Amino acid sequence: MSFLLLPTQIHAEKIIITDDNVNIRSGPGSEFKPIGKVHAKEEYNKVHEQGQWIEIELEDSKGWIHKEYISYNSGDKVKSGNKTITINQHHVHLRSGPSNEYEIISFAKKGESFPVIAETKEWYEVSNKGKSNFIFKEFVETNNEIKQNPYVFKNRNIVIDAGHGGHDVGAIGATGSFEKNITHLTADELKKELESLGASVYMTRDNDDFISLKSRAAYSNMMDTHVFISLHYNSFPKRPDVSGIETFYYGEQHKKLAQYLQDEMIKVTNAIDRGTSKGNYYVIRQNFKPAVLIELGFISNKEMDVLLHTNIYQKQLVNGIISGLGKYFSLENYH
């Protein structure tokens, strides 16, 4: 038996192509054949959206393009009232339009704030010295709870556990990638961002080493750990179309932590929400600290395996985790 998954229809949106020689495919996936190419700065009407793929109107037909290669037209922007945003990285580009193809006007410093004129799904239009500039949303702190308490990560000890390592490669991706390498990639990015916010971060493994599950849990228990996060990637080769993010906890007292992280990761990535569940995993079962294990995506899904190796998606995952932690520390009055 076969079935057709109908994408969600979206009307009256335009997108801008951000790269040259981008393949347009006959369906929403890299396994579909290319039917043409599009180029940077070209604009198209958006018809449907399915997962990480957008269907667009061509001159005499329709085709699909991956979200990585598009930006939303400034004509789709929404006014933002009195909203103000704060830059969360160094040397962020201020551009003349809402795409990486527009001219860089100047650079913003980390911690610098701007009033928002309007916003699209990926860009803020801000007022900068009386002129209109555009900032990519990934470089902006948008979590209200963190803004209200900029010191929410100060004096927090966070243990990051990059799953697998050494001879334990973990799952093998559709492109031949190893889970151990992607978990370490995510762990490094997460460590860097948390430390920039003032947290003290400890890694169960800094390199490609095999560390036993017992040692990982014991390391967390020995530290004055506020949160332990074990990072993993899932695999289901029999169903390469399966995707999504799922967060596990062991003790009921840690269910809220899992939910905050899950909600924020889904909000940032638009990934399929596989929810939170009680998981009988050693590193969280034998952990006496607030602990979660996150399955950040299915590397058996070829499209996702490719996407997980891009900087922009890794930053989205990390931003979701940080936003979830910020809510946990702020809203749960955690000390």
The confidence score (pLDDT) of residue 9 equals 38
Residue 253 gets which letter from DSSP? Answer: G
Q: Are strands 22-25 and 34-38 parallel, antiparallel or unpaired?
A: antiparallel
Q: Which helix (DSSP H) or strand (DSSP E) does residue 283 occupy?
A: helix 282-285
Of 199, 191, 140, 188, residue with least CA distance to 329: 199
In tens, the pLDDT along 99-111 reads 777 788 888 887 7
- CB within 8 Å of 234: residues ≥ 6 apart: 171, 246, 295, 296, 297, 298, 299, 300
Query: What residues form DSSP beta bridges with 126?
Result: 116, 133
In tens, the pLDDT along 63-82 reads 998 877 776 654 445 444 55
In tens, the pLDDT along 199-223 reads 999 999 999 999 999 999 999 999 9
Q: What average pLDDT does range 279-302 have in this prediction?
A: 96
**Is it the case that residue 178 has pLDDT exceeding 50?**
yes
Contact 296, 24 (CB under 8 A): no
Contact 135, 87 (CB under 8 A): yes
Matching fold, domains 8-72 and 77-142: yes
pTM above 0.85, yes or no: no
Residue type, 91: H
The C-alpha atoms of residue 10 and residue 29 are separated, in whole angstroms, by 19
DSSP string, 127-157: EETTEEEEEEGGGEE--HHHHH-TTTTTT-E
Q: Where are the domains of the chain?
A: 8-72, 77-142, 148-331
The confidence score (pLDDT) of residue 119 equals 76
Q: Where are the alpha helices (DSSP H) in 130-251?
A: 144-148, 179-196, 213-222
The confidence score (pLDDT) of residue 150 equals 55
The confidence score (pLDDT) of residue 217 equals 96
The confidence score (pLDDT) of residue 149 equals 54
Residue 153 phi, psi dihedral angles, 5° rounding: -95, -5
Domain 148-331 is classified in which CATH homologous superfamily? Zn-dependent exopeptidases (3.40.630.40)
Contact 160, 204 (CB under 8 A): yes
The C-alpha atoms of residue 265 and residue 275 are separated, in whole angstroms, by 11
CATH for the stretch 8-72: 2.30.30.40
Q: Which CATH number fits domain 77-142: 2.30.130.30, 3.40.50.300, 2.30.30.40, 3.40.30.120?
A: 2.30.30.40
